[in-house]
Structure formats: structure tokens, C-alpha cells
Chains A and B, each alone.
Chain A
Amino acid sequence: MIKQELVEIMILLNGAERRFYVEPNETLLHVLRERAGLTGAKKGCDMGECGACTVILNGRAVNSCCVFAVQADRGVVETIEGLGTPDQPHPLQQAFMDAGAVQCGFCTPGMIMAAKALLDRVPRPSQEEIRQALSGNLCRCTGYQKIEQAVTLAAEAIAGYSREERERL
């Protein structure tokens, strides 16, 4: 193991400018969990196969375990912690709860972030589009039915929002 020079990066993380000193081969997931203390993105495989670490980087859902932190330098990163709180949940978080799409919950943050990237791009997705967008996120508890319903439910809720409300999401 060779000792490496740390690299300074800056990320707009959940709306706030954050600076980190990272190893050149350090993943974005590692920075989020170990340096930023954001444990909402989960490590389920560390090789881009389960989707539990999904975050949104510059508008796209990515497996943060497969992105080097340096690639996110000067980028915009959204994680589950930036989405909503129990008191003021994002419609997706509310819908996941209402539809019973949360069981063990380990895949949930990644699912919600993948769904958010989809709804940001396609406000009223078809079933096929939902299945496509969430195909990289594995769940072992739910059988996916209620997750699919939750995304549809959230899309309907957002469609009923005023423009200001939508912009605040």
C-alpha cells in the first residue's frame, strides 16, 4: 500500500459548499460516509451492483461506490439527508412510507435517490420508465411492487403542487 498525497476537493453537498481532503482513489461513498458523516448512502456491495449507495451527482443518479471523490470535485451532490426531514418529508419519502415500500430500509435511501433523479427528469413516468430507472437498485424484502407504487404516488403528489412548491423540492 503506497501512501498517497491527499487531494483537496470542493462539493456542493446538499446545498452547502464542503471541502474535503481525499485520497486520489477514494470513492465518493467513502467520503460521504467517513468524512462527511452522511451514512444514509449505504454500502451493500462496493462494486456498483446493488444500488444502495445511490446519490445524485450533477443531476444523475450514480452508484457513489463507483465514482471517485475527485470526479465529484466542483460538482453538485444530493444525498438522502438533503431531501427532507421526518417533519418535512419529500413527497417520495412520504410516498415510500404511505405505500409500505419501506421494510428493512437498507435499500430505501438509494431507491429514493434513484427515483428522485427520475422524477426530476420525467415528472410522470410510465411503469416501464420506473422499472428502467430503478433496475439497478436491489431490494430483497418487498418484491418491488410497493416501491413501484410509491414512485407513482409521489409523482401524482408532485403533479398537484404549485410551481413554488415544486421548486422548493
Chain B
Amino acid sequence: MNEYQNRTFQAVNVSVPRLESMEKATGRAKYTDDLRLPNMAYAALVRSPYSRARVLSIDTSEAEKIPGYLGCLLPEEVPGEYFNCSGNPPSPLLMRDELVLTREPKVLGDRIACVAAETEEMARAAANAVRIEYEVLTPYLDIRSALSESAEPLQPHVSSNDNMIQRREVSQGDRAVGEAESDIIVEDHFSTPPMQHVTIELTSCLCDFSDGVHLTVYSTSQTVFQERRLVAEILGVKESNVHFSKPVVGGGFGARQQLHAQHVAALMSKKLGRPVNLSYNREEDLYSVVRHASEVDLRIGASQDGKLRLFDTIYRLNGGPYTTHTPTVVAAAARKLQYKVPNYFFEGLSVYTDHITGGAFRGYGNTQLTFGREILMDRLAQSLDMDPVEFRLLNQVQEGECFPCASIPVSSNNIASCARRCREIQAEIDAKYPLINNEDIRQAWGAAFSCHGSGPSSKEGLSSAVVMLNDDATVQLLVGSSDIGQGSETMESQITAECLGIPLSDVRITAADTKITPYDTGTFGSSQTFICGNAVTRACGDLKKKVLAQLRTIRPESRVEEQGQGYLLDGHPLSFREAAREVMFDAKGGVMIGSGTYKAEACPNPFSVCFVKAEYHKKFNAIRLLDIIQVVDVGTPINRMTVAGQLEGGIAQGVGYALYERLEINPRSRRTLSSDLLHYRIPQMGDMPRTHVDMVDSYDPYGPIGAKSVGELATVPVAPAIVNAVRRACGQEINGLPLCDQFVILPSSWKEARNET
């Protein structure tokens, strides 16, 4: 298992520019909406302007007069079976309650009809000209109103009496014992807002189902194989006739871990007999899917010695009107407590509402629970008069121990070094810019810990890889997992280069094309390094074994052994490169193809420590972020540059989440207030504080070359760390986000207040 431990690496644990960066930097990379097919038509969706309504009539006569109008799809013309659009593998948790087109919109932007025309502008004009008469119903926008006695069930076929999608309880120990053993119990209610992914690329698909038999889909996809399965089911065709090919994707963060409108575009393509492009505008993208808003009750108890005794939470997620991911998001949150607590009680509620549909978002349930948890841990440390970092370290689950209610022990954990390294960086910053505490300004540090998994916590991750050897010892690598901007293609290529002992430039990767590449569960759950990476190491191992067997066939008189990344031939080293030449063209040669499959056997936890330095301006109740430090244990970082990029990007998303991001629906008009990027602000360059990121030495025995995950981990601790810094600077308690509700937010590059020279 530890073939790679304590070894000097050549292609991993180094900083490598992305293989595709020059294609992107020269504008050559083709994203979905850059593709044009001959005779392509454009489709636009007719969406509900109300959060809950009933369609009384649809009149398309005015739309038909728009020049370039080609056709329309109404709810009656499309398959009427319920489905779940989530890009997770099939699971009983994923209730089916969504329709391709609906006459009973349950959320703003629900799909009612689809119109096609010769150009995108004409399609939009025609969609706007469709006249729909509605009976407007009272929507249940928040969890409280959706769960009230008088609320009508939104999905009676799933939940006939109320709007509870599912209730999940996970517990160990005894609540009464936990209470009795605790000298201090802190408790509070925490709320987090719905956050939108805001991938800079808009959701888009291009579907060609012209012949009604073979469907080709190019789309912004994280989960091509799941999307293929869902579309095949909805359309009633064989998976082998559905081809999902992923172009370059401009960000995912979970938003593309589901079907969007590929089914409608495919049906429109069939109707017209032409390829169809269906692309969202920014407003449509903003209300398509969000990170679940949460309402969390939390109690944490500790004894006087600082040991945790009780963790008790009711965790409620606002799911919107369709199940999609909600129960799996709740399930993912249930077993991610990284502290030792003998009495642990988790009650997770998935709730139907008429707010924007909650889906997958980087952090997947972990973000919302960690938020309140790390704030309460800070308050508890103060009550115990303990250092907040030491308090957390004291309770941290160590290697070989299990998280509460988890069954697999932690396989690697170097969070203590993360904390140490954070402190070093903190000391350097404070030496340069000493903490200010005067009449006007008070600065303070805050900290938070977090963990995540590597791959889906349900261990449903499954991936495969094929390595084909060329006669010049270069290789073609095929993997099913999607690079959506996070850099997985480069990383899988690095793992291949490391395993085979060849230069990175000798690896050519093809990824995420259902016609060419082998199956992969999908790009979600921080899977790519761990799940797909393990499939790649196995494929490389298989290839090397096959080359070895071939060498032995070719040279029956010699003693041939494997050694490191190459071979020994009668005691003389033979590199993999030299061996490759021999095995193919020899009279007894053959074609060398290695393959490997990995079904998750583990889900190692990466760990993070995040420190934030913030300041509070007493006169005008304003806050400003100065520095954010994040140091992580991700096992072996395959590509240090990519890991650093994930950390910095995760910090930026955490800054937006903490400070001002919230997808808002106006309670009066029940329309979205967050209709564009001026009304839904994400951090700009000048908003960002100085960021400092690092990785500590670590090696996970289950990881490919010791690697764990990083993508989701990077954003989880940021918001609570910011809140902890702010609460220490201002002395006010904070129970919810975004902080712009409570404070004036000053941009980090705000010059006047800068104390440095």
C-alpha cells in the first residue's frame, strides 16, 4: 500500500501549470456556448414569474408571429414521469418529484414551456410573447411557513401530510449523561442564507436529437454519466444511444451536478429535427439552484477540563420544491464532526418550500453545520477561558479514532501542524502590522477548524481509467471524470507520469466523454484526486504488470523484475521507456492497455485550519477583513499550484458567503431581487484581503500516492473563521449570515484605513 511513501516524487508534490492553460489564455478553449453546429436552432424557456401558481391557459399565438419562430413545447407534449435531476448515482434518498415542464410551478423560474427560433434573440422574444394565465398561490418561502400546520403539501405524492421530505436521526450516547457531565453548555440558533454558485460561464447545452434515435449532448456538466442515465430514462432511449461530451467547463462548484435543461433541449431537437442550443441568461442562472439556506439549533457542552461532552443539533435545510440533493446533503452533514464527543445527537430535516431549489454546492451540508459549530466552539473556549485553537486541538479526533457515529477510523491527520503553521504565519503578519486597538478601530484574530471527505461520504464513488501505451512510451489516458476548471485532468496526468516514471508531457488525457471514456460517478464530493486518482494508479499498475509479462514472454532466457518505476533485466535497470519500445514491435510483442477501477473503500478526511484577521470601526459599525490564512492537510498535494489555487478560491467564496451573498426573493412581489451580478454581489479583486495558504506534510495510506481531497474543504472553515474574528473585534454575537445585515462592509483594499505604509 505504501509503495510511494517516503519517496522522492518527480511528477507529484510539485507545482505544475495546468496542461490546458495556454488554450484558455489564448481564447482557443471551446466552452459549450462557443460550439456551433450546422442548422442549429436556439431554444428559450418560458418560466414562471411566480414562486407558486397554477397555469390556467397558455396562448402561443403572439409568439408564433415573431420572425424566426420555429416551434413550441408545452407540458402535454413532453414525458410526464417524475424524476430527480440530481447527478448522484441512484439512491432511495433521491425522491422523484420534478417534471420536464409543469403546469403547477412551485418556484420562481419553474419551466412551463419551451420555444425555439432561428436566433437566440428571436427565441427570447418568442418566449416573452407566450401569454400565460395564472392562478397565483401563496408560496412558502421559508422553512417555518412550509412546516406550519396550515401549509399545503407541495409534493403530496412524496409527503401527503406536510412538507417534510425526510427526517434523519444519527446519534450515539445519552443526552442526559451529556448534559450531566457538562459544566458549561452553550447553545444558539444559527441561520445561513441561500448562496448561488455564480460560475462565470452560464449554464448551457447543445443537443442534437434530430433523428429521434441518437442523442448527442454538449453541456456544462460535472456528472456526464449520471446525466446520460437520467436523460435516457426521461426520453425512454438506451444509454448507448446517448452521448454526453463535455466541452471545457467554466466552473461548477456543484451547480452542474444535476440536469438543467438538457432534456427539454433534446425534445425540442427531436421536434424540429435540428440541433438545439439552450443557454441561460444570468438571471436564469441565478435562480436555477442554490446552496441550501439553513436553520440550525445547536448545543455544545464541555466539562471544566475542556473536553466536549455533548453535541446536540437540529439541522434544517430549505430544499425548495424539488428533492434533488436535499436528503443526501443532510446525510453528508450527519457524520462530519471532527471532535470527540461521547454524546452526539444529530437530527436533520429536509424541507420542501417554494424558495429556489437547493442543490449541490461546494461543502455539501458541511458548510452550514460547521458555521454554527465553530462559532459555538469559540464561545465555549472563551467561557472555559481556554485558547480557542488549543481547545479545538484537545478535542480533535486523532488518527485511528472515529468521528462520532462514523465507522471508518481517521486514516491520516496532521491538523496540529496546520495550526502550528497558521500561528507562524500569524506571527509574521503581526510583526509587520501589529494589532490595532484604539478609540476608533479594534483588530482581532479568529480561527476555525474544518474537515471534509475525499469522495462522497456514502462511499458511492466509483471510477475507472484506461492507460494505452504508445510505442514511444508516451501514453493515452482515458478517464470518465470531468475537469470543470479545478485542474483534475492535469492532476490525473501527473499521477500517471509519477506511476509510470515518464515525463508529464508524455501523457495525453481524454476525459468525460460517455462514448470514449470509461465510467466515473462524477465530479462531485471532492472525488477527483482520491477516487479517480486511485483508478489511475490501478490502471498504471495494471499496465506495468502487462509490460512485465510481455517482457518475460519476449525474453524467456532473462530474469525480469519490476523495480521502482521501471524494470530489472538480469540485474540491469531497464526504464519503462526502453521496455515500451521492446514490447510492441518484437515478434512476440503485443498492444499494452492497462485498466483500473476503484470503488470507494475509504473516504479519508482532509483537514483545514483557517485564521482571519479583521477590524471593527466603532464609529460607523463597519468591518474590514485584513488577512486570511488557511493551512491544510490534504495528504500528498499532487499539484501544489492547483491546491493553492483551490485554497485561495475557496477563501474567496467563503468571503462572499460571510459578507454579502444571499439569493433574495422579494417577499412582496415574490420575484427575485438577485436578478443580476449587481444585485447578487460576489467578491471583486479589491474586496479580497491578503490571503496566505500552505499545505503540511502528510500521507494518507488509502490515497493515490498518499493524496486526499481539497476542493470543498477549502471553503468550509472560512465563514465561521471570519465571524469569530469579527465577534472578537466588535464584541457582538453573530448568529447569521451575511454580515452585511449587521455591519457596514469595507473593502479590504480600502485605502484610507490602511495602517501599513
A residues with CB within 8 A of B: 1, 3, 33, 38-47, 49-50, 52, 79-81, 83-86, 89, 92-93, 96-98, 100, 102-109, 112, 128, 130-132, 134-148
Contacts and interface: CB of A to CB of B under 8 A. Distances in A.
Contacts of B23: 86, 105
Contact of A128 (B125, B676, B751): B751
A103 B685 contact: no
B571 interface: no
A92 to B, nearest CB: 8
Contact of A144 (B125, B251, B688): B688
A82 to B, nearest CB: 9
Contact of B22 (A3, A97, A138, A144): A97
Contacts of B33: 43
Q: Is the interface of A mostly helix, strand, loop or mixed?
A: loop
Contacts of A33: 34
Interface of B: 15, 17-18, 20-31, 33-34, 66-67, 121-122, 125, 197-202, 248-251, 253, 281-282, 484-487, 641-642, 644-645, 648-653, 676-678, 682-686, 688, 691, 749, 751
Contacts of B20: 105
A44 B282 contact: yes
Given A45-B202, A135-B686, 6 more contacts: A1-B66, A42-B200, A130-B685, A142-B652, A143-B652, A145-B688
B644 to A, nearest CB: 7
Contact of B678 (A49, A93, A105): A49
Contacts of B486: 103-104, 141
A44 B197 CA distance: 13
A139 B67 contact: no
Nearest to B484: A104
B201 A42 contact: yes
29 contacts: A39-B27, A39-B30, A40-B28, A44-B202, A49-B282, A81-B26, A89-B22, A93-B26, A97-B18, A97-B25, A98-B17, A100-B641, A100-B642, A100-B645, A103-B486, A105-B23, A105-B248, A106-B31, A106-B200, A106-B250, A106-B251, A109-B24, A128-B751, A130-B685, A135-B685, A135-B686, A141-B486, A143-B688, A146-B648
A126 to B, nearest CB: 11
Contacts of A89: 22, 25-26
B677 A140 contact: no
Contacts of B685: 130-131, 134-135, 137, 139, 144, 147-148
A30 to B, nearest CB: 9
A98 B645 CA distance: 13
Contacts of A145: 648, 688, 691
Nearest to B198: A140
Given A103-B487, A105-B250, A144-B688, A83 B26 contact: yes
Contacts of B248: 104-105
Task: Give the one of A39, A86, A135, A143 with max B CB within 10 A.
Answer: A143
Contacts of B17: 97-98, 100, 102
A104 B249 contact: yes
A86 B26 contact: yes
A98 B25 CA distance: 11
A104 B255 CA distance: 14
B649 A142 contact: yes
Contacts of A142: 645, 648-649, 652
Given A97-B18, A104-B485, A128-B749, A109 B27 contact: yes
Contact of B24 (A41, A46, A105): A105
A45 B197 CA distance: 14
Contact of A38 (B27, B484, B691): B27
Contacts of B650: 143
A105 B682 contact: no
A138 B677 contact: yes
Contacts of B645: 100, 103, 141-143, 146
Contact of A138 (B200, B644, B653): B200
3 closest A-B pairs by CB: A40-B27, A104-B485, A105-B24
Nearest to B279: A43
Nearest to A112: B25
B26 A52 contact: no
Contacts of B641: 100
Contacts of A46: 281-282
A44 to B, nearest CB: 5
A21 B636 CA distance: 56
